[in-house]
Amino acid sequence: MTIDRQDPKPPSEMLRELLKERGWTQDELALITGRSVKAINDLVRGRSGISPEMAACLAAAFGNSPEQWMQAETTYRLSLISEDTSDIERRARLFSIAPIRDMQRRGWIKETDNLGELEAEVASFFSDPYAAVSPVEITTRPFFVAARRTIAVPNLTPAETAWCFRARQLASTSPANPFREDKLSKTKSALRRLAAHPKEARHLSTVLGEFGIRFVVVEPLPEVRIDGAAFWDEIGPVIAVSIRHDRVDGFWFTIMHEFSHVRHGDKISVDTGMVDAVTGVSVELAGNEAEDRANREASSSLVPIEEIESFISRVGPLYPRQRIIQFANRIHIHPGIIVGQLQHRGEIGYASMRDLLPKVREYVVSTALTDGWGQAISPLVARRSR
């Protein structure tokens, strides 16, 4: 947008008018202000601008304020600018709604110096897969869900919103059987069996796909706090995870939490700050009915509430390692998940038995559709599916 200003009066003209009103010569103004005649002459002829020091001197001499002189100088200088700044505004808008450089580094959008191409890339990335979206419309960042509805993704940073859309892109290319709601109980049982051994996480994508739930993994962008998301599209439900904190208890809690959203038909859930690098699962961060329900169901799906409470009453306040392992073996779950729940309940410290909290990411990404950690998927793949 070209700066359009009414022709402001240059400070030199203001100065000449004030000299005329006072009946002063340039020599007299030089004596009054203690400045050289040449400096005053340059100001009167418009050969030099008004510095803050000169503004203070002129204000003292003519009885106005230094701010008036500086404002006159600034307004006049700006009026001389004829540069078209519309491209700067367009580019600033793109960077305000999306982490452009991070998205380019990850290959989500093409690196280009052409502004029009960049706008088209961003518009395509955030578009409804069934409708064209212009660069003007992408500020709302609508997220397509089932029943041809679009909803805003609430309370997310631009980086977190981009993560959600990338997860949706990947899901559109992920194969899965037709979803059947009557198979959800079997799905839950199958997932829990996988949670007994870290390496079994490599079968997660296959198991979910067999029951009609697509599963994708997207490495988080910087500052992204999303642990998992569940949403629906025209094909069926999707579970996406970031595995930003790689520990067995947090991972399986996230999976079962998102599965709960699918089970109850929640159209979209984006869960941030659910898993902490030090403290593990942080379920108290939820705060609404659907999230509280998903937290309860995730915990009890992995370790039935009556089982963990019975164990605590029998064994606490001391929890020998062998007793935890025996308990885990009896209920067919990994002992790290027991440790995580005990830590969350405050029964043991967060530094306790961390050797029982193995990593699972390498097993998951070895088979799941993954964007990140050295694995990349061309953005064109997702676009061809639209």
DSSP codes joined into one string, 324-344:
HHHHHHHHTS-HHHHHHHHHH
Report the alpha-carbon distance of residue 117 to residue 110 in Å, rounded: 9
Q: What is the pTM of this model?
A: 0.81
Domains of the chain and CATH, by start: 11-79 (1.10.260.40), 175-384 (no CATH)
Cα–Cα distances (Å) from 270 to 127, 231, 356, in that order, read 19, 8, 28
List, for residues 177-186, the tens digit of each pLDDT value: 999 899 999 9
List, for residues 209-243, the tens digit of each pLDDT value: 999 999 999 999 998 999 999 998 888 999 999 99
In this predicted structure, what is the pLDDT of residue 5? Answer: 47
- pLDDT grade, residue 2 (50/70/90)? very low
Pairing of strands 142-145, 149-152: antiparallel
- 255: tokens are 């999976």
Give φ, ψ of 374 to 5 degrees. Answer: 85, -5
DSSP code at position 140: G
The answer to whether 201 and 193 have CB atoms below 8 angstroms apart is no
In this predicted structure, what is the pLDDT of residue 54? Answer: 94
- pLDDT grade, residue 133 (50/70/90)? very low
List, for residues 18-46, the tens digit of each pLDDT value: 999 999 999 999 999 999 999 999 999 99
Residue predicted with more confidence, 146 or 69: 69
Q: Count CB atoms within 10 A of the CB of residue 72.
A: 21
In angstroms and rounded to an integer, the radius of gyration of the C-alpha atoms of the chain is 32
List, for residues 140-165, the tens digit of each pLDDT value: 455 655 443 445 566 788 899 899 99
